[in-house]
Structure 1
Amino acid sequence: MPILGAHMSIAGGYHKAVRAAHAAGCDCVQLFTKNNNQWRAKELTDKDRAAFTAALTELGITHPISHNSYLINLGSPDDELWRKSIDAMVIELQRAEALGIVSVVAHPGAFTTSSEEAGVARIAAGLDEVHRQTPQAVSRVLLETTAGQGSNLGWRFEQLAAILDAVADPDRLGVCFDTCHVFAAGYAMETDKEYAATIRALDKAFGYKKIAAFHLNDSLKPFGSRKDRHAAIGSGEMGLEPFRHLLNDRRFKQVPMYLETPKGEEDGVDLDVVNLTTLRSLVG
């Protein structure tokens, strides 16, 4: 079976995210290590770390990963924001290290008032500086595929490849494949032939083995819209077939997959439970 989980809230403590994941029937969990809409971060305590690690062990939740702050933009041409983003990314890696989290998912960045080429170079230089400041870190950054909204980079596989080619130490980077984003970016996955063509394009760009995590989300917006709006599995524009192909692709059997779908309940049942049940029904 695929390794399936979801993004969970850390309200009340990091261990709460693990317990919520277990309650929903997850195998793995994603979380923020700080408020994702603030630059400042509350200090991590030994108690935080111990409770988080103990919950993972006790409940058998594996592959914990984190997502970085949405404020970070390593592609910014603005020097002040760029440096602030580097400092914040260093902290994200340090917090992940402290919690025993091996991967930090990050949107590559937006070039805003510059150009795609300048944005790629800026992101690569920013990542090199982050790596320079964290030489012993085991945790690595996973560049997430994006929908391509505005000037966000990473919506074409070739853009991710360009960043990986430009950094000094590409072995310290991986890729997180977001289904909604890839669909919104214009990569078809509904038929066997379309799915095969999309994975072939990805493999040609940077190699499918670079994928270290998946975000499983349907899309509220149509194919090729370049709009980032997540929907419950099978209730958006994608339908179930792309997920069926992905979940039965043996190449990704050991790669953890995390829901980032809307939270809530349906007929009194937690939506994460509903989505996980739907996904597991597609296997085999």
Structure 2
Amino acid sequence: MPLLGAHQSIAGGLHLAFARIAQVGGESLQIFTANQRQWKAKALTDEEIRLFQETWQKHGFMPVASHASYLINLAAQDPDKAEKSIAAFSEELIRCRQLGINLVVIHPGSHGGRGIEAGLQEVSRNLEQALVRSRALDSELKILLETTAGQGTSLGSRFEELGYLLKNTRYPQHLGICVDTCHIFAAGYDIRRPATYNQTMAALAKQIGLDQIHLFHLNDSQKDCGSRVDRHAHIGQGRIGLEGFRLLLNDARFSHLPMTLETDKGPDLHEDVINLTRLRALID
């Protein structure tokens, strides 16, 4: 069965995310390792690292992924913005290595009007730089390029674009894919019915390879298929609907993977409980 979980806050300390995921009955976890609205993060202390690793061990070393800051744009045209992005992502990779997190999710970036090919080439170069700077080449770390909705000039809404990055970036052993259900739906990949679900998975297999997928984000979509608008909705309350998630959750090819929610929630996290309950009810 898929390992269902959710993105949780690190307020009060990184290690407290484990208490939050336990509170909602999750089996996998995604976090930010630092404030995702700031370029520069404080270095982790030995105590923060120790607390995180000890708490993780108590929770059975469930799968944990980090999501890189939304400020980072590895396709940035401006040299200063590109350098800030490489530096920030390198620091993210270093923090993840310190904590023992091997899955790091990042949006490919936005080409800013230069065109898809030029943008992808920039992303490829900057991914390589971040891996070298962070000294991650001798690690098991995987950078997971996330599928996107295709808003504006963002890259990664077509499977071909992600496939290009996997094939044309050095150190492919450190790259993989995170599939976001809301994003692929908004990008025009319909997963609501068996026929269209199978078409989408066939395209994924052809352009990327199903073995390259290491994580799913489970989000319904407020907007229609092909809208290119990224607006998450609670499971079964958006335009994808329950059947699309039923098809995914019962797809044996992904039964071993972590799948995390990224939906809105209040302080008591009851929305996560409801969404996880709905998802588990769909598994045969």
TM range (shorter): over 0.9
For 1:191-206, list aligned pairs within 5 A: 191-206=193-208
Q: Which amino acid aligns with 2:21?
A: A
Q: Which amino acid aligns with 1:227?
A: V
* 2:264 alignment partner, SS class: coil
Partner residue of 1:177? 179
Is 1:131 matched up with 2:131? Answer: yes
* 1:153 alignment partner, SS class: coil
Does the 8 Å CA contact 1:244/1:283 hold for their aligned counterparts? yes
Partner residue of 1:63? 63
For 1:61-140, list aligned pairs within 5 A: 62-133=62-133, 134=135, 135-140=137-142
Is 1:34 matched up with 2:38? Answer: no
Partner residue of 1:25? 25
Does the 8 Å CA contact 2:24/2:269 hold for their aligned counterparts? no
Residue 168 of structure 1 and its aligned partner are, at CA, apart by 1.3
CA distance in structure 1 between the partners assigned to 2:122 and 2:200 by the alignment: 27
Partner residue of 1:146? 148
Does the 8 Å CA contact 2:148/2:184 hold for their aligned counterparts? yes
* 2:217 alignment partner, SS class: strand
Residue 113 of structure 1 and its aligned partner are, at CA, apart by 2.8
Partner residue of 1:3? 3
CA distance in structure 2 between the partners assigned to 1:62 and 1:269 by the alignment: 19
CA distance in structure 2 between the partners assigned to 1:163 and 1:195 by the alignment: 24
Identical columns (%): 48
CA distance in structure 2 between the partners assigned to 1:107 and 1:190 by the alignment: 24
Does the 8 Å CA contact 1:105/1:176 hold for their aligned counterparts? yes
Partner residue of 1:44? 44
CA distance in structure 2 between the partners assigned to 1:58 and 1:64 by the alignment: 14
Does the 8 Å CA contact 1:218/1:232 hold for their aligned counterparts? yes
The alignment covers a number of residue pairs equal to 282
Partner residue of 1:156? 158
Is 1:242 matched up with 2:244? Answer: yes
Does the 8 Å CA contact 1:97/1:138 hold for their aligned counterparts? no
CA distance in structure 1 between the partners assigned to 2:47 and 2:258 by the alignment: 27
CA distance in structure 2 between the partners assigned to 1:276 and 1:196 by the alignment: 24
CA distance in structure 2 between the partners assigned to 1:230 and 1:248 by the alignment: 22
* 1:176 alignment partner, SS class: strand
Residue 269 of structure 1 and its aligned partner are, at CA, apart by 7.2
Does the 8 Å CA contact 1:26/1:61 hold for their aligned counterparts? no
TM-score by length of 2: 0.97
CA distance in structure 2 between the partners assigned to 1:32 and 1:155 by the alignment: 23
* 1:110 alignment partner, SS class: coil
Partner residue of 1:215? 217
Does the 8 Å CA contact 1:68/1:92 hold for their aligned counterparts? yes
CA distance in structure 2 between the partners assigned to 1:231 and 1:55 by the alignment: 31
Which is further off, 57-66 or 229-238? 57-66
Is 1:258 matched up with 2:260? Answer: yes
TM-score by length of 1: 0.97
| Structure 1 residue ranges (4+ consecutive) displaced by more than 4 angstroms after TM superposition | none
CA distance in structure 1 between the partners assigned to 2:271 and 2:116 by the alignment: 38
Which is further off, 89-98 or 54-63? 54-63
Partner residue of 2:270? 270
Q: Summarize the Cα distance change of 1:153–1:274 in structure 2 as closer, same or farther, 3 Å threshold.
A: same
What 5-or-longer segments of structure 1 have no aligned partner?
none
Q: Which amino acid aligns with 1:144?
A: E
Residue 146 of structure 1 and its aligned partner are, at CA, apart by 0.2
RMSD: 1.2
Residue 264 of structure 1 and its aligned partner are, at CA, apart by 2.3
CA distance in structure 2 between the partners assigned to 1:47 and 1:169 by the alignment: 32
